[in-house]
Structure 1
Amino acid sequence: MVKYKEVPIYTDVTPELFINSIWNRREPALLRGIDIGECTAKWTTEYLSEKIGALDVKVHVSQHEKLDFINKNFVYKTLPFNELLERVSGTSKAFFLSPNEYYYLRSLGLDPRGREIADIRKQFPFIAADLKIPHFFKDEAFFSSVLRIGSKNVQLWTHYDVMDNILIQVRGRKRIALFKPSEALSMYLVGDKSRVLDIDNPDASEFPKFSSVLRHECIMESGDIIFIPALWFHNTLALDNGIAVNVFWKHLPEELYDKKDVYGNKDHIPAARAIQMTENATKLLETLPGEYRDFYCRRMIAILENKLCGQEDKI
């Protein structure tokens, strides 16, 4: 059975307190009582529709509550922003797939070729001033600010990000489940995403290791912020129709990040190269008989464990 641990709650956090007592612990933290501006009061369906209007946005649309990025149980559709809000709120009866479909917006840059990084100040300038982003990082470390809007009950696939980020819950409640990076071998990964889609009722026969993981969890209310350190796996469940903003920043040296990464989800350059080398090693070992493959696979694991695994540097 999965074990649970509550994410610690901090109130009235200053930038100094965040850096000195929260950020360097490298664990999630729920932050309450921080001034995030007028967005929690202003960002109603009516207000956002008036300010943003019919701007086209690309949206995930699915007949399933649990969105699965690996098997793609959703389609991408383009909608005017005001129509998206109507569909999410239930005031519109229009649909693409079925009358009971679900919507999820992860805002993108305006470049139609997908080469622009999401930044709420550029894509949604008429509402950006309503949001105060806490100064938890240096301005030059900023990477992106992503507007997220979703239907009630939408659950996003478990994944990790390579950058530190804060999720600012502007409206609605959200459940966040998180798992330490050291749980990676129990997460059944495909790239940066977990194959365990139903984290509340996982298939024990298909994912036996998942039952041993420690699950960190909290419920976010409107106005709450959660700090999600890089490499922590996280899964979100919308308890209401919701609006949130993710802010990502680079906390490692600039040269470690892929300059072509517009979503902030490409592995750091040394890690990406090491993974590619591992793929190449796999192809080489496949040329050997089974017992030899097994032996040398274990030798490689032993080398990694002896030299690297379990070592944690203080940032």
Structure 2
Amino acid sequence: MAECFQTETENKKRFTIPLKQIPRFSVNDSQANALINSREPVIITDTHLVSSACNWDLDYLSRHIGDGLFTVYRSKSHKFKYYSDKKSLAIKEFTPPTSQEEMPFQEFVNLIKSHPKSSSERIYLQQALNNSVGPKIVEQFVNFNWSYVTGLQRSNNWGPLTSNLLLVGMPGNVTPVHYDEQENMFAQIRGSKRLVLFNPDQFENLYPYPVHHPHDRQSQVDLDNPDLNRFPNVTRLCGYEGVVGPGEVIYIPMYWWHQVESMTDSEENISVNFWYMAGNNEKIEYPLSAQQKVSMTRNIEKMILQALNDADEVAPFMRMMVLGRYT
């Protein structure tokens, strides 16, 4: 990964993370496609990917999105950290950081509009866009610039599109550092988002939770207040940052760590992402890429856990394999 030197963002608490700016290009610039082909992040300014949804705001969506129920998350702070319901059942002492409920969209809007500024509690809507929404929204969804993303899908050998998520949040909401196992084209509709990204080669500096943990794929490091005694490698972090505004799209490659913050330039923050499965024809060439090493690490962890059938035995087993032999 290129050395970080262009900008530095100082954490207000205790340490500084050197951050380069995520490259920004027009859709007609060949460098944009070259970065995507290389599986590196890029902000693309004029794809018109979601131009048909440019009038989506809370009031418009309330009138047209339909009477169904939508998934809304509540957090006692501004942070919304993902966790797996299924994996949480196996850890008795686990306390979910957010709660989840289903409600009509208008009820969600009412909660946002009546939210006391003094309250630390936040809400966040995340819902798959499908034919359960109103016909007006379906029409505009169909009129997305699908030729653009399907062209990327073909040229980069991505797998099938798995989902389009509608994301509606309050200013200041943060999704902490995590990675996904899919390719992500993230389109901003209203408001703007600041993203901090880290290459998969920063794996050992971000201390991911074990694969059996409910916070699998999440970093244990709180960038706002890192515990440098537990996680000393965090001082070696080196990453990228960028702001995505209305009409812009950012490509977040699979396995790239990212933290997403809704900026305070708007009372509402609306995005739609396009998630694609990985292709199945990637060549194995040496040295392995950082993405391939992360995938291999996950598979080894899963295999050991399955063989031992006890999550508490995994760490001692791996220490036994390594300590005194490979150290």
Any stretches of 5+ residues in structure 1 without a counterpart?
Answer: 108-117, 256-266, 288-292, 303-315
Tell me if 1:247 matches 2:267: no
2:69 to 48, 56, 61: 56
Q: Which runs of 5+ in 2 are unaligned?
A: 1-15, 84-94, 210-215, 283-293
Partner SS state of residue 59, structure 2: helix
Q: Would you say the 8 A contact 1:3–1:212 is kept in 2?
A: no
Deviations 1:1-25 (A, max 9, x none): 32111100011347x7654x12222
Normalised to the residue count of structure 1, the TM-score between the two structures is 0.74
* Pair 1:103-2:113 in alignment: no
Deviation at 1:30, TM superposition (A): 0.7
**Aligned counterpart for 1:195 among listed residues 198, 203, 220:** 220
Figure out how many residues of one structure are paired with residues of the other and give that number: 266
Amino acid at match of 1:106: Q
TM-score for both structures, normalised by structure 2: 0.71
Q: 1:300 to 1:84 in 2, by over 3 A?
A: farther
C-alpha separation between the residues in 1 aligned to 2:314 and 2:190?
Answer: 52
- Could you say what the CA RMSD is over the residues aligned between the two structures, in angstroms? 3.1
Confirm whether residue 213 of structure 1 aligns to residue 237 of structure 2.
yes
CA separation of 1:250 and 1:125: change in aligned 2, threshold 3 A: farther
Q: How does 1:37-56 map to 2 (within 5 A)?
A: 37-39=50-52, 41-56=54-69
Q: Distance in 2 between matches of 1:10 and 1:82?
A: 37
Q: Does residue 137 in structure 1 map to residue 153 in structure 2?
A: yes
Among 20, 23, 31, the alignment partner of 2:44 is: 31
Q: CA deviation at 1:100?
A: 4.7
What is the aligned counterpart of 2:228 among 175, 186, 204? 204
| Aligned residue in 2 for 1:150 | 169
Sequence identity of aligned pairs in percent?
23
Quick one: distance in 2 between partners of 1:13 and 1:142?
Answer: 23
- Give the direction of change, closer, same or farther, for the CA distance of 1:73–1:150 in structure 2 (3 Å limit): same
Native 8 Å contact 1:159 1:193 kept in 2: yes
Letter of the structure 2 residue corresponding to residue 252 of structure 1: G
Q: Indicate how the Cα distance of structure 1 residues 77 and 284 shifts in structure 2: closer, same or farther if over 3 A, else same.
A: closer
Q: Residue 85 of structure 1: CA displacement?
A: 2.3
**2:174 aligned counterpart, secondary structure:** coil
